[in-house]
Amino acid sequence: MKIIRFLILSILFTFSLFANVQINAPQSFIKEEPYLFTIEVSGDNIKFPRITHIDGNVVQEVSSSTSTNIINSTITKKIKRVYSLYSAKDFIFPKLEFVIDGKTYYSQEKLIKAKTAAKTQSDIFDLSIRTNKNELFVGEDFILTITLKYKRLAQIVDLNLLQPNFENFWYKPLNDIKQYDEGEYKVQEISFLLFALKQGIQKVNPVAIQAQVIDPRRNSYTLFSNGISSLKIYSNELNLDIKPLPSNIDLIGDFEISASIDKTQINKGDSLSYKLEINGTGNFDDIKDIKLDIQNATIYENKPEIKTDFKDGKYYGVYNKVFSIIPNASMTIPSVKLSYFDKKRNEVITKSSENFHIKVVNKNESLKQKETLEKKISGEPSKQIIKVVEKSSIKDNILYFSLGIITMSLILSLYFYVIKQKENKKFNEKPLVKKVKSCNTKDELLKTLCVYLKQDSKLDKLIFEIETTDDISSIKKELIKLLKEIDIKGKVLWK
């Protein structure tokens, strides 16, 4: 008993002797994971060292806390700071200087070793990763499954999967979580969809789980512990053979491409809508933004919209992009080509969308064509108009006079009705029309109407014309007339 008491007193004395400065710096760390160390200093007047770099590695302060204790009228401060750094190799933890209540303290240099994460061997846990493919091409998708096994009788307080580090792979989690029993173990599986970004032998780094378990042995033999142990469980690592795609090819899978337009003949100055669509299976997220190169045309484009979904073991997608084209003359919208690598056929496939010829006509020419077409359709010969003058009797004159009075009454009634309707219409005038009427400059008109682009082709044309003219009075009249006929979404209310 005397020996045990002496050891306890010796330990307490040692702690109190170095209680002014305590540094908790582990002797090793796992590569590609943060190295954390803690410094705790007690005293009244404390001067902390400024730590920005250690052996060439940038140091960041993770947290800092200060507490004050008053014992027998003596004020003591305690400062605790946690730091982190990343290093790919061994480094030297430096000698640090602390000034506490006028006294200087120095820490000792220490070699910190870098280790590679290795699969954890445990009586309670087993963590592993596997893939459905070991050989694949750059950009090809594959499934990585994380499997955690743990004993059902283990007293586990918490389990937390740490953020994976899939270097050289693009990934996204899948909503595919499985739980089942296997003998004395409970099993949980979670899957990720990965895409290889680089060729060659690429390593899939081990994943890790932070676990907290109740350790009965710590309850039995530790005086100042709650019996909870914190464990970090690592899985195995994988090496995959990634093959390069053919030169100048970024896509792999099976794709289809198509295009459509809303009109093939337009008046000069009008716009048409061109829609491009790509669908199929493959690495849709690697499709580059598609541009149109058309001479003698003004082109406006929306951002492409890509929707993807993983089902039945395949990565499906749809790519949509809409263009608004204002041609200056008749032209051809060329086809858009899409090249990709077909793994099943082991060759590069090129597919093209349709091309479209657009005829641009002047408004007057369009009207003449319409009149000519109507005459051809009617096919009726011109008729000679013969004016016949007939004599009228007194009865006829009285009848005509009565009809005239009736007609005048109807006209006057209609006139007052129209006036009243105009007043009501003016009262209920649309807010956007009022805004347009109140605009006095070109900039005010553009700021008011730019948010309604792509709602109606006629409105788009007028907005584009505002930018090229200095006289906005005539355009305002056309705008007001058009805005009275359409709603915000471009739906025609009346004609």
Each residue's pLDDT tens digit, 36-65: 999 999 888 888 899 999 999 999 999 999
Q: Which of 270-284, 380-394, 418-432, 445-459 is predicted least confidently?
A: 380-394
Return d(Cα 307, Cα 318) in angstroms, integer. Answer: 5
- Give the pLDDT mean for 92-96: 93
Arithmetic mean of pLDDT over the chain:
83
What CATH number is given for 125-243 in this structure? Answer: 2.60.40
Return d(Cα 258, Cα 351) in angstroms, integer. Answer: 9
Ordered by start, the domain boundaries in the chain are 2-115, 125-243, 253-361, 418-495
Return d(Cα 291, Cα 301) in angstroms, integer. Answer: 9
What CATH number is given for 253-361 in this structure? Answer: 2.60.40
For residue 30, what are the CA distances in angstroms to 116, 204, 230, 415? 6, 15, 16, 90
Tens digits of per-residue pLDDT, 246-265?
999 999 999 999 999 999 99
**Residue with more model confidence, 330 or 7:** 330
Return d(Cα 208, Cα 184) in angstroms, integer. Answer: 22
Query: What is the per-residue DSSP string for 319-375?
Result: EEEEEEEEESS-EEE---EEEEEETTTTEEEEEE---EEEEEE-HHHHHHHHHHHHH
pLDDT at 54: 94
Q: Which of 147-151, 388-392, 453-457 is predicted least confidently?
A: 388-392
Query: What is the per-residue DSSP string for 106-160?
Result: EPPPEEEEEE---PPP-SSEEEEEEES-SEEETT-EEEEEEEEEEETTS-EEEEE
- 2-115 folds as Immunoglobulin-like (2.60.40)
Number of residues in the chain: 495
Tens digits of per-residue pLDDT, 157-196?
888 998 888 989 999 999 888 999 999 999 999 999 999 9
Return d(Cα 23, Cα 21) in angstroms, integer. Answer: 7
Q: Please, which residues bridge with residue 68 across strands?
A: 77
Return d(Cα 335, Cα 294) in angstroms, integer. Answer: 11
Q: 2-115 and 253-361: same fold?
A: yes
